[in-house]
Structure 1
Amino acid sequence: MNITNFRDLGGMRTIHGRQVRPCKFIRSGQLVGLDEQTKQELVNRYQVTQVVDFRRPFEIEESPDDRIEGLTFTNIDLLEQSGTNSASLDDFASLGSADQVNGHMLNVYHDLVMSHAAQQGYGKFLRIVVENVHGATLFHCFAGKDRTGFAAALVLWLLEVDDDQVFADYLKTNEERVEANKQLLDQFRAQGFDQDSLDALQIALCVRKEYLAHAQQAMIDAYGDVFTYARQALGFGSDQVDALRRNLLE
């Protein structure tokens, strides 16, 4: 399986003792440069039928997902019209300051909860997951860490998986991306970026608990809880939450 930051969220337990079905809800980094065995595994082993790509248009244009027969691909641009948060890796490197990168990432997570485009996008994503009753939904962005990280957390919270498991899965990205991040840093080093820029990029390539906690708090401050947020901001009410649980839990 040559997909960075790939994992099936099956097996995670809710506070009521149910668990997420395997081969239903899968997160990853971008599906670029896959070998034939990986493509076959996605279809045959993981039963993937739907792929949701959260990347910006310029990201897709640079590195479009590999096409896999039998899979439906949907692009949802979560950061559309969010001018401060469309940073490429070059932009992060040029910030050159750990504090600036941290501040930028906190803004990104706030926008993932509160911006109109993200709310529209996550609502659409949830409906895709609910309607995909016969196969698995795989969702990703570039690195599979921020846009994908909040998407995973959002669904797990709606399923009533506890925070310990949600944050543990979120932080697992740092382990899964060690090699990929090293390769990216080496590329930027070879291009002549200085150490401050590389340090800033290193921060941007990792997740921190405070980022997801910041998003969670923004959601609670504005809406009270995840269910009110889903209903009011994402147009995803209690009947749809019940359908989500029927589809993803065993």
Structure 2
Amino acid sequence: MNITNFRDLGGMRTIHGRRVRQHKFIRSGQLVGLDEDTKRELVDRYQVTQVVDFRRPFERQESPDDRIDGVTFTNIDLLEQSGTSGTSLDDFASLGLADQVNGHMLNVYHDLVMNPAAQQGYGKFLRIVVDNIQGATLFHCFAGKDRTGFAAALVLWLLEVDDTQVFADYLKTNQERVAANNQLLDRFRAKGFDQDSLDALEIALCVKKEYLAHAQQTMIEAYGDVFTYARQALGFGPDQVEALRRNLLE
């Protein structure tokens, strides 16, 4: 599989002892430059029938997903109305200081929870997952770490997977992206970016437990729990949560 940060979330256990089905709920980085074997494996082995792309329009324009026969692609721009100024790699590199990057990332995660476009987008995403009874839903952004990371956590929380597993999966991105991140850093180094900028970019290319914890705390402070958040902010009520569990759990 020549896809960065790819993993099937099947196998995780809920607090009630049920298990997430294999080949139903899959996260990754962008689907660019796929070889034919990878495309075939996505369809034949993983049963992917739906792809949700969380990237901004400029990201999709620069690096459009490779099309796969028999797979439906849906674009959802989660940061369309975000107050967070700039989320491109150049924006992160230009911040220059580690503290600024950390602050910026915390703002991004706040927006993923509270921004109206993000709420609308995540609600749409949940409905796609619920309605995809026959196949698997693969979802991604650029690196498959922030927008995708919160999407994965959101669904796992609704399934009642415990925080230990949710955060372990979230942090696995740092292992999965080592080679890809080094390539990006080399590219920016070749562009002439100074060491402070490269250090800032290196931080932005990783996930930290505090980022997802900040999103979780923001959600709890505003709505009380993930189920109220889903119902009030995402338009995804108890009946839909039960349908999600029927589809994704065994």
TM, length-normalised to structure 2: 0.99
Query: Aligned partner of 2:136: which letter?
Result: A
C-alpha contact 1:55 1:76 (8 A) present in aligned 2: yes
- State the 1:86 CA deviation: 3.4
Percentage of pairs with the same residue: 88
Count of residues paired in the alignment = 250
State the partner residue of 1:40. Answer: 40
Q: Distance in 1 between matches of 2:85 and 2:177?
A: 21
What's the Cα RMSD here?
A: 0.5
Consecutive unaligned residues of structure 2, counting only runs of 5 or more, are none
The 5 A counterparts of 1:203-218 are 203-218=203-218
C-alpha contact 2:5 2:144 (8 A) present in aligned 1: yes
**Pairing 1:122–2:122 present:** yes
**Pairing 1:49–2:35 present:** no
**Pairing 1:61–2:61 present:** yes
Q: Distance in 2 between matches of 1:151 and 1:189?
A: 31
Q: Distance in 2 between matches of 1:247 and 1:85?
A: 37
State the partner residue of 1:149. Answer: 149
State the partner residue of 1:14. Answer: 14
Query: Aligned partner of 1:111: which letter?
Result: D
Deviations 1:179-213 (A, max 9, x none): 00000000000111000000000000000000000
Query: Aligned partner of 1:143: which letter?
Result: A
Q: Distance in 2 between matches of 1:234 and 1:83?
A: 19
State the partner residue of 2:233. Answer: 233
C-alpha contact 1:109 1:212 (8 A) present in aligned 2: yes
C-alpha contact 1:52 1:138 (8 A) present in aligned 2: yes
TM, length-normalised to structure 1: 0.99
- State the 1:82 CA deviation: 1.2
C-alpha contact 2:49 2:72 (8 A) present in aligned 1: yes
- State the 1:87 CA deviation: 1.9
- State the 1:83 CA deviation: 4.0
Matched residue of 1:206: which SS? coil
Matched residue of 1:84: which SS? coil
- State the 1:37 CA deviation: 0.3
